[in-house]
């Protein structure tokens, strides 16, 4: 971890959340360095770009998500290297960045062209998505609530952004490229550790359930129910807990308990309008789409009697009669069951898991006594894997927080890195944390904006 070193002196900042900046830094209105442009594609053949609060401006082809696809890209806005692209609807989340690519974006996006070389594009890209500026975008956006907020060009161009001397910006970029690359590599190494433990756990589960039993079609054991037809905008911090496909893929695999896990919520009115999507104890909920083949069949089961809704892109599987839910959870998490799903799904970037696919699978059920013995054995063996994975995930979360804080502290002048000697240039590895949730956000942003 870097030792915090402050600048010798500071002066007051115009931004309420920044308080102060180094005494010799400037704060310039964006309109002195950028101008809004509205160039349109004539052929629609250019690369479609995505704009995310996590990854900034990237080619949509790199995003493994099910995004809205227009019939034609003719008339989309052109975005060139060095231009700022802003998702106007989601600017309050800092969905913006400086593009490294030649491409096109939605006509509803804001595109801004540099008119001088005041800013190093990479410095500005780091700066744009800091929490300090995200709060300022929120204040300057107009609308009733988050689903209707818009950051319009006049409001954005009037904002003041910190502006160190250009040579100092260049050094800050070299420093952050070096440190962020180190952090990203460490995060990726820890993610590989969790993958290894997951593979070892699956091998243990596979061995435990490999004994013979009665083979029963999935459709003869479960009835399937569709989850709520909602979007992320309808989620809140209060109401009835709700499990969506993003959490199934990234957080609450195998089992979920609202008394132990923090879940987003939906309005209590859904209890009256959509009671069928309310889960019961022992219900399984499958994500109906996956970004890769290995994620096909991801699920969780409700290990609680508290009310929980199944949210968007989910399918509830409810057993016709009481059974050993925990045994079934282990079975659904096994290679034996997953392979059945993976052999049936179709897709390239997005794999759909339909009711037909689930109903066509086979479930192996030993005797009740054998099921209980398997559960007791696996609970004991898998607990150690769970502890190891939880520990590593905590370390990853701390590294993510540290990276975010480091970037913000350096680009806003809280931390002086002028005297830090930077080794030979290293390219920044792509951000990979929380990729399901991040790309899930991007997908909804793109669809709502076109």
pLDDT above 70 (res 168) = yes
Q: What pLDDT digit, counting tens, does each position of 3-42 carry?
A: 679 999 999 999 989 989 999 999 999 999 999 999 999 9
The reported pLDDT for the residue numbered 173 is 97
Residues 6+ apart with CB under 8 A from 387: none
Q: 214-268: per-residue pLDDT in tens?
A: 999 999 999 999 999 988 778 888 999 999 988 898 877 789 998 888 899 999 9
Full set of structural domains in the chain with CATH? 10-187+394-449 (3.90.220.20), 213-365 (3.90.220.20)
- B/e letters for 386-395, b = 16+ CB within 10 Å, e = fewer, are eebbeebeee
Residue 84, beta-bridge partner list: 98, 112
Is the per-residue pLDDT at 426 higher than 60?
Answer: no
Ordered DSSP codes for 176-189: HHHHHHHHHHHHHH
Which range of 135-149, 215-229, 424-438 scores highest in mean pLDDT? It is 215-229
Average of pLDDT values for 180-207? Answer: 93
Q: 398: pLDDT confidence band, cut at 50, 70 and 90?
A: very high
Q: Return the pLDDT at 235.
A: 87
For residue 446, what pLDDT band results from cuts at 50, 70 and 90?
very low
Chain centroid offset of residue 211 CA: 38
* pLDDT of 313 above 80: yes
Judge contact between 105 and 85, C-beta under 8 A: yes
Q: Exposure of 430 by Cβ count < 10 A (0-12 exposed, 13-18 middle, 19+ buried)?
A: exposed
Q: φ and ψ at 433, to 5 degrees?
A: -70, 145
**What average pLDDT does range 112-139 have in this prediction?**
96
Output 147 or 74, whichever has higher pLDDT: 74
Q: What pLDDT, on a 0 to 100 scale, did the predictor assign at position 437? A: 38
pLDDT confidence of residue 424: 75
Mean of the per-residue pLDDT values of the chain: 88
Q: pLDDT at residue 449 above 50?
A: no
Check: CB of residue 36 under 8 Å from CB of residue 111: yes
Question: Exposure string (b/e) for 243-276, b if CB count within 10 Å is 16 or more?
Answer: bbbbbbbbbbbbbbbbeebebbbbeeebeeebee
What per-residue confidence (pLDDT) applies to 436?
A: 36
**Cα gap 265→269, rounded to integer Å:** 12
Does residue 64 surpass a pLDDT of 80?
Answer: no
Residue 413, exposed/middle/buried by CB under 10 A (0-12, 13-18, 19+)?
Answer: buried
Please give the DSSP secondary-structure letter assigned to residue 75. T
Region 407-425: mean pLDDT is: 91
Judged by DSSP in three states, 155 sits in helix
- Token code pair at residue 20: 């102060």
* Both tokens assigned to 329: 């959870």
What does the pLDDT read at residue 1? 56
Return the percentage of the chain with pLDDT > 70, whole number: 90
pLDDT tens digits for range 75-91: 899 999 999 999 998 89
- Asked if the model's pLDDT at residue 425 lies above 60, the reply is no
Average pLDDT over residues 360-365: 95
Q: What is the DSSP string of 274-298?
A: -GGGEE-TT-EEEESEESSGGGTT-
The Cα–Cα gap between 188 and 81 comes to: 28
By mean pLDDT, which of 69-73, 99-103, 381-385 is the weakest?
69-73
pLDDT of residue 234: 86
């Amino acid at each position: 971890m870097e030792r915090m070193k402050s600048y010798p002196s500071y002066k007051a900042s115009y931004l309420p959340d920044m308080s102060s900046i180094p005494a010799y830094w400037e704060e310039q209105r964006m309109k002195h360095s950028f101008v809004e442009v509205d160039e349109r594609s004539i052929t629609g053949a250019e690369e479609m770009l995505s704009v995310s609060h996590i990854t900034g401006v990237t080619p949509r082809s790199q995003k493994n998500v099910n995004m809205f696809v227009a019939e034609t890209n003719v008339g989309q806005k052109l975005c060139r290297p060095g231009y700022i692209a802003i998702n106007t609807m989601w600017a309050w989340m800092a969905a913006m960045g400086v593009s490294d690519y030649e491409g096109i974006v939605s006509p509803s996006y804001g595109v801004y062209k540099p008119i001088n070389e005041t800013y190093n594009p990479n410095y500005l890209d780091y700066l744009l998505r800091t929490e300090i500026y995200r709060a300022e975008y929120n204040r300057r956006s107009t609308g009733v609530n988050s689903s209707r907020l818009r950051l319009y060009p006049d409001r954005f161009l009037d904002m003041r952004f910190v502006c160190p001397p250009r040579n100092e910006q260049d050094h800050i970029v070299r420093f952050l490229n070096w440190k962020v690359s180190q952090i990203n590599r460490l995060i990726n190494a820890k993610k590989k550790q969790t993958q290894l433990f997951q593979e070892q756990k699956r091998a243990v589960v596979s061995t435990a359930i490999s004994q013979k039993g009665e083979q029963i079609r999935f459709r003869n054991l479960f009835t399937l129910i569709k989850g709520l037809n909602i979007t992320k905008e309808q989620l809140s911090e209060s109401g009835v807990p709700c499990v969506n496909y993003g959490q199934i893929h990234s957080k609450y695999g195998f089992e979920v308990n609202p008394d132990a896990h923090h879940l987003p919520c939906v309005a209590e009115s859904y209890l009256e309008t959509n009671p069928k999507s309310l889960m019961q104890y022992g219900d399984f909920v499958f994500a109906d789409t996956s970004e890769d083949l290995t994620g096909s069949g991801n699920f969780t089961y409700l290990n609680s009697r508290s009310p929980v809704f199944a949210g968007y892109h989910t399918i509830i599987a409810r057993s016709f009669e009481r059974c050993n839910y925990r045994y079934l959870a282990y079975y659904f998490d096994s290679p034996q069951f997953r392979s059945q799903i993976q052999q049936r799904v179709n897709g390239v970037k997005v794999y759909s898991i339909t009711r037909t696919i689930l109903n066509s699978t086979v479930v192996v059920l030993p005797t009740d006594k054998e099921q209980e013995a398997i559960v007791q054995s696996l609970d004991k063996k898998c607990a150690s894997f769970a502890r190891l994975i939880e520990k590593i995930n905590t370390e990853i979360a701390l590294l993510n927080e540290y990276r975010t804080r480091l970037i913000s502290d350096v680009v806003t002048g809280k931390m002086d890195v002028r005297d830090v000697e930077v080794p030979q240039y290293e390219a920044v590895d792509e951000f990979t944390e929380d990729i399901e949730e991040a790309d899930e956000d991007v997908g909804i942003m793109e669809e709502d904006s076109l």
